[in-house]
Amino acid sequence: MENGSKQWRFKARKDLTSASDITVRGMLNKLHGAIVATDTRPTVFLGHGDPSAFPCFRVTPTAVDAIVDSLRSAKFNGYAPTVGVLPARRAIAEYLSGNLPYKLSPDDVNLTSGCSQAIEVVLSVLSQPGANILLPRPGFPAYESRAAFSKLEFRHFDLLPEKGWEIDLDAVEALADDNTVAMVIINPGNPCGNVYSYQHLQKVAETARRLGIMVIADEVYERIAFGTNPFVPMGTFGSIAPVITLGSISKRWVVPGWRLGWLVITDPSGVLKQNKIVDSIHGCLNICSDPATFIQGAIPKVIEDTKEDFFKNTINILRQASGICYERIKEIDCLTCPHKPEGSMFVMVKLNLSLLEDIVDDFDFCFKLVKEENVVVLPGITVGLKNWLRVTFAIEPASLEDGLGRVKSFCVRHAKETVKNQNQNHNQE
Ligand SMILES: *Cc1c(COP(=O)(O)O)cnc(C)c1O
Residue 429: per-residue pLDDT: 47
Within 13 Å and on the Cβ side, how many CA atoms surround 223? 17
Are 358 and 13 contacting, i.e. CB atoms less than 8 angstroms apart?
Answer: no
Mean pLDDT, rounded, of the chain: 94
Model confidence at 2, in pLDDT bands (50, 70, 90)? low
Q: Kindly give the residue spans of alpha helices, DSSP state H, lying in 239-338.
A: 271-274, 277-286, 293-305, 308-330
pLDDT single digits (tens) 25-45: 888 889 999 999 899 999 999
Spatial CB neighbours of 126, under 8 Å, sequence gap ≥ 6: 133, 152, 181, 182
* Percentage above 90 pLDDT, the chain: 89
Model confidence at 12, in pLDDT bands (50, 70, 90)? confident
Spatial CB neighbours of 178, under 8 Å, sequence gap ≥ 6: none
* Per-residue pLDDT at 19 exceeds 90: no
142 C-alpha to center of ligand 1: Å?
9
Supply the angle between the helices 362-373 and 24-33 in degrees, to the nearest 10: 40
249 C-alpha to center of ligand 1: Å?
10
pLDDT single digits (tens) 283-339: 999 999 999 999 999 999 999 999 999 999 999 999 999 999 999 999 999 999 999
Q: Position 424: which residue type?
A: Q
Return the CATH number of the domain spanning residue range 61-305.
Answer: 3.40.640.10
Residue 191, preceding peptide bond in cis (omega within 30° of 0): yes
Residue 25: per-residue pLDDT: 85
Which 3 state secondary structure label does DSSP give 230?
coil
pLDDT single digits (tens) 180-215: 999 999 999 999 999 999 999 999 999 999 999 999
What does the pLDDT average to over 347-366? Answer: 97
pLDDT single digits (tens) 71-84: 999 999 999 999 99
284 C-alpha to center of ligand 1: Å?
20
Q: Is the CB of 373 under 6 A from ligand 1?
A: no
Residue 23: per-residue pLDDT: 80
Model confidence at 49, in pLDDT bands (50, 70, 90)? confident
312 C-alpha to center of ligand 1: Å?
21
Model confidence at 427, in pLDDT bands (50, 70, 90)? low
Q: Is the CB of 220 under 6 A from ligand 1?
A: yes
391: enclosing H helix or E strand = strand 388-392
Domain 19-57+309-424 has CATH 1.10.10.10: no
**Residue ranges of domains in the chain:** 19-57+309-424, 61-305
117 C-alpha to center of ligand 1: Å?
9
* Per-residue pLDDT at 97 exceeds 70: yes
Nearest atom, ligand 1, residue 50 CA: 1
**Distance, CA of 172 to CA of 414 (rounded, Å):** 39
Q: Is the CB of 261 under 6 A from ligand 1?
A: yes
**Distance, CA of 155 to CA of 133 (rounded, Å):** 6
Strands (DSSP E) found in 201-311: 214-218, 243-248, 261-266
247 C-alpha to center of ligand 1: Å?
8
Please compute Rg for the chain using Cα positions: 23
Q: Give the residue from 52, 56, 76 showing the smallest Cα distance to 66.
A: 76
268: enclosing H helix or E strand = none
Q: Give the residue from 145, 292, 131 showing the smallest Cα distance to 212.
A: 131
337 C-alpha to center of ligand 1: Å?
23
pLDDT single digits (tens) 116-157: 999 999 999 999 999 999 999 999 999 999 999 999 999 999
Q: Is the CB of 186 under 6 A from ligand 1?
A: yes
Pocket test for ligand 1, best of 111, 159, 190, 344 (most atoms within 8 A of CB): 190
Nearest CA to ligand 1 atom 15: 190
Burial label for 160, CB within 10 Å (0-12, 13-18, 19+), is: middle
Pocket test for ligand 1, best of 23, 248, 347 (most atoms within 8 A of CB): 248
